Amino acid sequence: MSKDIIVIEELDKVYDNDFKALSKINLSIRRGEIFALLGANGAGKTTLIGVVCGLVNATSGTVTVGGYDHVKNYRSARSLIGLVPQELYLDPFLNVMETLAIARGFYGKKPDKKLLEQVLRDLSLWEKKDDKVQQLSGGMKRRVLIGKALMNEPEVLFLDEPTAGVDVDLRRGMWELVSKLKERGTTIILTTHYIEEAQDMADRIGVIIDGQISLVEEKETLMKQFGGKNLKIHLAEKLQKLPRWCDEGNLTLSEDGMTLTYTYKASESTGITALLTQLKEEGINMVDLSTEETSLEEIFVNLTHNDS
Ligand SMILES: Nc1ncnc2c1ncn2[C@@H]1O[C@H](COP(=O)(O)OP(=O)(O)O)[C@@H](O)[C@H]1O
Ligand SMILES: [Mg+2]
């Protein structure tokens, strides 16, 4: 069994109005992980999910789900997927139980009372099972949508902006549910434009900007890499280029040549004293020092700005 459950290669999507929504997407999703796709509104998150789920036609490129091509083996690929769409769209006249039972049939699977009860209980919807969907709050409706997706017993669950417009308590409940599903081996792909959400939940994070994947990384690595500190050394005179002895990974020179930025980990020995001594020996004078912390938020903002 391959370690990747979804493999996306060289995927492009151009909409009918010639708008290029996705460009050369290469992305693999590992079995059992929680993957957060982080991107601003309009970045292409829903389009990407739509292509993988077979709702949006790709312009070029390939996608496999569990080894099945999402077009050639559409039914097999689709049978592994649960999709919780961004839009709250439910038949208001059905009750909760009916909604889930019908969803099961829609996937072409045999009715399963035990599963139905389990899903309703997992989502804390058991008490509401006879309520008409239209009587439910927004957060409850979202849970019903998740329930519909779970009636397919998916190996991969897509959650498209699952906490948009959901209150804090429900958000927490949502994350408990996601953890429970992960424990059972479900792969989860969620999209969000909230950094904290990606930071809290995900094993890996992918950033999508203007239809391009600009970064995919283990969350831990990202946090280590970026959860550090920057020391800004404001120079007395313009420096033409970095001194040759500098480790370029840790030290960068601003475009105007007036600021050196030294990145270090607060937890490790910082090397600041050695750096400052070295600068002094080189006759590089400074006028001020300042420090700042980096966060995922900052990387995200930087990435977004660099690209536009
Ligand atoms: N059917 C469509 N026709 C033309 N453009 C579309 C269509 N659907 C989405 N888009 C555009 O594609 C871009 C990506 O949209 P979307 O995938 O919904 O982004 P996200 O989910 O990240 O907010 C947006 O600029 C959007 O306006
Ligand atoms: Mg979207």
Q: Which ligand is nearest to the CA of 44?
A: 1
Structure confidence at residue 308 (pLDDT): 40
User: Which of the listed residues 25, 46, 48, 86 should we mutate to test ligand 1's pocket, taking the one with most ligand atoms within 8 A of CB?
Assistant: 46
Span from the CA of 50 to the centroid of ligand 1 (angstroms): 11
Please give the sequence-ordered ranges of beta strands (E in DSSP) within 2-150, or none if there are none.
Answer: 4-14, 20-30, 34-38, 60-65, 68-69, 81-84
**pLDDT reading at 251 higher than 60:** yes
**pLDDT reading at 244 higher than 70:** yes
Tokens of 268: 């490790």
Q: Find tokens 């959860």 and name the residue.
A: 227
Structure confidence at residue 174 (pLDDT): 79
Structure confidence at residue 297 (pLDDT): 65
Tokens of 85: 């769409």
Q: How confident is the model at residue 61 (pLDDT cuts 50, 70, 90)?
A: very high
Over residues 2-19, mean pLDDT: 96
Q: How confident is the model at residue 75 (pLDDT cuts 50, 70, 90)?
A: very high
Q: Which ligand is nearest to the CA of 19?
A: 1
Q: Which ligand is nearest to the CA of 164?
A: 2
SS3 4: strand
φ, ψ at 66 (rounded to 5°): 55, 30
Q: How confident is the model at residue 248 (pLDDT cuts 50, 70, 90)?
A: low
CA distances from 231 to 100, 169, 251, 284 (A): 55, 38, 9, 16
| CATH topology for the 227-307 domain | Alpha-Beta Plaits (3.30.70)
Instruction: Cite the residue boundaries of each domain of the chain with CATH code 3.30.70.
Output: 227-307
| CATH topology for the 4-223 domain | Rossmann fold (3.40.50)
Q: What is the pLDDT of residues 113-127, one digit of tens each?
A: 999 999 999 888 999
- Inter-residue contact 302 to 230 (CB < 8 Å): no
Instruction: Cite the residue boundaries of each domain of the chain with CATH code 3.40.50.300.
Output: 4-223
Torsion of CA 175, 181, 183, 188, to 10 degrees: -80
**pLDDT reading at 307 higher than 50:** no
d(CA 98, CA 131): 10
The pTM of this model reads 0.78
What is the separation, in whole angstroms, between the first and last Cα of the chain? Answer: 40
DSSP H or E segment with residue 122: helix 113-122
What's the mean per-residue pLDDT of the chain?
Answer: 88
The closest residue, in CA terms, to atom 5 on ligand 1 is 15
Q: What is the pLDDT of residues 266-275, one digit of tens each?
A: 656 778 888 8
Residues 6+ apart with CB under 8 A from 247: none
CB atoms within 10 A of CB 115: 16
Ligand 1 atom nearest the C-alpha of 160 is 21
**Residues in contact with ligand 1 (CB, 6 Å cut-off):** 15, 17, 19, 21, 39, 41-47
Over residues 184-191, mean pLDDT: 95
Over residues 129-141, mean pLDDT: 90
d(CA 39, CA 26): 16
Q: How confident is the model at residue 303 (pLDDT cuts 50, 70, 90)?
A: low
**pLDDT reading at 202 higher than 50:** yes
- Inter-residue contact 100 to 148 (CB < 8 Å): yes
Angle at 291 between CA 288 and CA 297, to 5 degrees: 140
